[in-house]
Amino acid sequence: MAFVDDLALVEVLIGLVAVLLAYTGVLAFWAIRTNRPQWLRTTLKSSAIPIGGVGAVTMALALWTEMTWPFPIAYMGGYNIFFGDVMLLFGLVAVCFALAAYLGHHLHLVGLLALVVGIVTAFYGWTGYTANPAFTKDPYTTFLMYGAFGLAAVSAFPATIVTDYFLSASSAGRSIWTSLTGSGLRTPMGSRAAQPMSKLDTEGTDEDGSRSERGYRVHWALQLVMLAFPLLMALAAYAAFAYFATTLPGHLGAGAAKAP
């Protein structure tokens, strides 16, 4: 069987998943920030199709790499471990997220899986960076890519906890926000904070007796948790495509040099 090096394609696939997850994370943050639980559920369910599809292809290629890598010699035999293992784990997390999001199940268990995979990914990157001889011609760039994906995966755990809590609280008629009840001020960025209140008590009475909708402010720590995930995932996507930009020309150039 002829050897097929699919590393460039793998980098595109993990980059695509990272872009999709980053975009979904931004939409999830805004849905929570603006108190739209149903929109959040719809967003998560819609994201399941592309993320699950790309994740499944990634898993299939990872399994192929693990079982058919054709170099048993010492200096090449570890490539199926270094690249295939992490690729398989990343695809597994993507598929598990897609299933949980589509079926409407809790996401924090997938977040816990991502946390462990993120730590393992970072360790793979560190091991590859400190290996002698190095696994790649660009060990530093490889380490940065593995580190970016590791950090993004770790940040998924707290983000999924906040998401699950928001959806559970909304279903129970509660809110995770702080009510803003400043005199005459009913905007989400008001200045006076009161105690958390029920979703059912979102309207108040002004001094003139008229009804008006109260504004809300999400605690800064929750916003930070929700924003950290898409920002780190966007960084991981950039790292994957930057790595792809260096991989593809070398692979095509090597193939062209051997062409008849």
Proportion of the chain above pLDDT 70, given as a percent: 72
Q: Which residue has the higher pLDDT, 165 or 260?
A: 165
pLDDT of residue 234: 96
Is pLDDT at 91 greater than 90 in this prediction? yes
Please give the pLDDT value at position 123.
Answer: 93
Task: Give the DSSP letter string of 124-146.
Answer: HHHHHHH-SS-SSS-HHHHHHHH
- What does the alpha-carbon distance between residue 79 and residue 186 come to, in Å, rounded to a whole number? 59
Q: Give per-residue pLDDT as tens, 16-51.
A: 999 999 999 999 999 988 889 999 999 999 999 999
Q: One-letter amino acid identity for 143?
A: F
Pairwise CA distance, residues 207 & 247, whole Å: 66
Closest among 202, 220, 112 to 158, alpha carbons compared = 112
Summarised one tens digit per residue, pLDDT across range 119-135 is: 999 999 888 888 776 66
* pLDDT value of position 77: 57
Please name the fold of domain 7-176+220-258. Answer: 1.25.40
Please give the torsion angle defined by the CA atoms of residues 40, 43, 44 and 47, in that order, rounded to the nearest 10 degrees: -170
Expressed in angstroms, the distance from the first to the final Cα of the chain is 20
Are 42 and 31 a contacting pair, CB within 8 Å? no
Among 8-22, 90-104, 112-126, 208-222, the minimum mean pLDDT is found in 208-222
Which range, of 4-18, 93-107, 246-260, averages the lowest pLDDT? Answer: 246-260
* Residue keyed to tokens 């200096």: 75
What pLDDT shows up at residue 128? 81
Q: What is the pLDDT of residue 215?
A: 42
pTM check: above 0.85:
no
pLDDT surpasses 60 at 4: no
Q: Where are the domains of the chain?
A: 7-176+220-258, 179-217
